[in-house]
Structures are given as structure tokens and as C-alpha cells.
Copies of this chain bind each other. A is one copy, B any other.
Amino acid sequence: MSVSDSTGITAPQTHKRPKDSDTLTDRAYQQLEEMIVTLRLEPGQVLSEAQLAEDLGIGRTPVREALQRLASEGLVNVLPRRGVLVSEINLSRQLLLLELRREVERLCARKAAQRATADERDGFRALADDLAAVADNRDDAGFMRLDLQFNRALVQAGRNEFAERAMRRIQGLSRRFWFQHYREVLDLERCARLHADVARAIARGDADGAATASDALMDYIVEFTRATV
């Protein structure tokens, strides 16, 4: 139940850049988000700041601040003097989240098609090719990696810090559901091709095309989400 096998404070050693000015709050946030998204902390579980602080080997303050950030994203909610509850994943909530994600992602796609630099367009073209290859080879891990890369490129090329922030918040909740169910019902090939369609539309600067492609992708994701019951 507790997370006693935490690797300690130093170096999450992920693929991410080891930013030198990483505060403990940031680290705690990253670790907790990862644990929640990957279901190592299960929905419905109640945690305490003190326990988490001990497990992570840091003080209560950074843990508390990280938890508040997670609460603002909806991954946990704090019960005033009882503890923090890892929020449940239920289908209807997930569909509500997708309602919002559809709008924001379409905006990002449209704006990315308008605003991407030449380099970024090259990147989207390459991404589309890679996605097509992954679709042919049915490479799970490769797709997950490309999906992450795609989302990052999308918000980057969209050039809208507010949409970026909103997307970042949405991602966490989305990723958790994804992580939980993708093995069961994901049509990897179709999903990868739909991603590639968006990427290609952006690459050629077709804003309307990118928007409709994004909607098509979201249609599939909604379908995928519904299929998990």
C-alpha cells in the first residue's frame, strides 16, 4: 500500500532533461503524477501527506504543494481533514474530459497548421512517416513514444501558452485512462493512421484539414473509450 520502494530523492533518470533548477516540489509532483498515471497508486486509495513525505524522503511542504497541483488537475481531491483521495476513473467523467480535449486539441491542430515553422513542418512530416511505420509493424511501445512526441509538438507549434497549459492538465487524466485500457481494445493501426493524418495536414499548412483530422481522431478516441466497458 505504501510506496516503500521509492528510488530516493535523486535523479528520476527518465528520458527527460535533468533540469538543474528542479525543486523538490517539482520532483514530488512528477513522481506522484507518474505513480498515479501508472496506477501504482490506485484510484480510491486514500493517502496522507506525512506518509507520502516519508516514502519520498522529503518534507511535508513539497508533498503538499505537489498534491495541490495534482488536485487542480483532478487527479486527486483532498478531503479536508481526512486525507487525499486518488480520484476514480469512471467512464462518464472520462467522456466529459474528452469533450474538452476535443475542442482544445482541434484549436491546437488548427493553429499549428497556421503557425508551424518550416522545421516544425518537417518534424510533423517525419512524425507522420514514423506513425505509418508503427501502424504497419504494430509496435506498441513505439506508438506510445510517438504519441507523446506528437502531443508535445502539437502544443509547441500551436504557439498558445494558455492552450498549452490546458492541454497539459488534460493529458494527465487522459494518460491514466489510456494506460489502464490500451491493451484491451486499442486499434493501434487505426489510431496511428489517424494521428498521421493530423500530422500531415499540419505539415502542409491545411488548417481546416487539420481540424477535421483532429476531430476524426477524437471520434476514434471516444469510440475507444466507450469500448472499455
A65 on interface, CB distance cutoff 8 Å: yes
Q: How would residues 91 to 124 of chain A score, 1 for a CB under 8 Å from any chain B CB and 0 otherwise?
A: 0010011011001101100010000000000000
List the one stretch of A8-16, A34-42, A162-170, A175-183 in contact with chain B.
Answer: A162-170
- Contact check, A162 vs B96: say whether CB atoms are below 8 A apart: yes
A27 on interface, CB distance cutoff 8 Å: no
- Contact check, A80 vs B21: say whether CB atoms are below 8 A apart: yes
List which A128-176 residues lie within 8 A (CB) of chain B.
159-163, 165-166, 169-170, 173
Give every chain B residue within 8 A of A160 (Cβ-Cβ).
96, 99-100
Give every chain B residue within 8 A of A161 (Cβ-Cβ).
74, 93, 96
* A163 (CB) vs chain B CBs: closest residue: B100
Known A162-B74, A162-B170: A100·B104 in contact at CB below 8 Å: yes
- What separation, in Å, do the CA atoms of A86 and B225 have in the docked complex? 41
Interface size class of A (residues with CB under 8 A): 20 to 34
A69 on interface, CB distance cutoff 8 Å: yes
- What separation, in Å, do the CA atoms of A173 and B107 have in the docked complex? 19
24 A-B pairs with C-beta separation under 8 A: A2-B74, A2-B77, A3-B77, A21-B80, A65-B65, A68-B69, A69-B72, A72-B165, A74-B162, A74-B165, A93-B161, A96-B159, A96-B163, A99-B107, A99-B111, A99-B160, A100-B104, A100-B107, A100-B160, A100-B163, A103-B104, A103-B107, A104-B166, A162-B170
A residues contacting B by CB (< 8 A) are 2-3, 21, 65, 68-69, 72, 74, 77, 80, 93, 96-97, 99-100, 103-104, 106-107, 111, 159-163, 165-166, 169-170, 173
